[in-house]
């Protein structure tokens, strides 16, 4: 497992009533952790794409989470993120949220490689090989 660590400081706005972190905060942090996973390996598509007419994105298509505990303000959390599976035009990330050594949440996200240009493609293109080489 070639994981990156994303540090999170729980803020008041991440929580709902009772000072418990909201599900959507975990979803946002997992999305940010996946983006950081690409950045740390110099695999940001926007940095390598030269065509100004096309927009290149890796939108999340699916996110599943399992919770084993709660988090609250002002706790510090860490999110471990790694690639579980490569598909032709998508990548599956795994996320493990830790408070110290305790796992409080695990997640799995599916993210597609997508190019939006002047013409609509019939199917998403495959992930560029240079990205697969930088992320194991």
Q: What pLDDT shows up at residue 50?
A: 55
Instruction: Name the H helices within the chain.
Output: 23-40, 129-134
Maximum Cα–Cα distance across the chain: 49
The tens place of each residue's pLDDT in the chain, 136 residues long, gives 789 999 999 999 999 999 999 999 999 999 999 989 988 887 665 555 555 555 567 788 999 999 999 999 999 999 999 999 999 888 999 999 999 999 999 999 998 887 766 676 677 778 778 777 877 6
User: Which letter does DSSP use for residue 16 in this model?
Assistant: -
Residue pair 103/68 in contact (Cβ under 8 Å)? The answer is yes
Residues sharing a CB contact under 8 Å with residue 88, sequence separation 6 or more, in sequence order: 126, 127
Q: What pLDDT shows up at residue 75?
A: 98
Report how far residue 71's alpha carbon sits from residue 62's, in angstroms, rounded to the nearest whole number. 23
């Amino acid at each position: 497992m070639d994981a990156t660590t994303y540090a999170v400081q729980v803020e008041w706005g991440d929580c709902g009533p009772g000072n418990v972190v909201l599900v959507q905060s975990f979803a946002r942090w997992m999305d940010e952790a996946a983006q950081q996973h690409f950045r740390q390996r110099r695999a940001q598509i926007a940095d390598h794409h030269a065509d100004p007419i096309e927009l290149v994105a890796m939108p999340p298509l699916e996110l599943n989470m399992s919770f084993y505990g709660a988090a609250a303000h002002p706790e510090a959390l860490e999110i471990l993120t790694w690639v579980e599976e490569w598909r032709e035009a998508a990548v599956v990330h795994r996320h493990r949220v830790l408070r110290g050594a305790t796992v409080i949440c695990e997640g799995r996200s599916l993210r597609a490689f997508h190019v939006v240009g002047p013409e609509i493609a019939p199917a998403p293109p495959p992930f560029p090989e240079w990205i697969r080489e930088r992320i194991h």
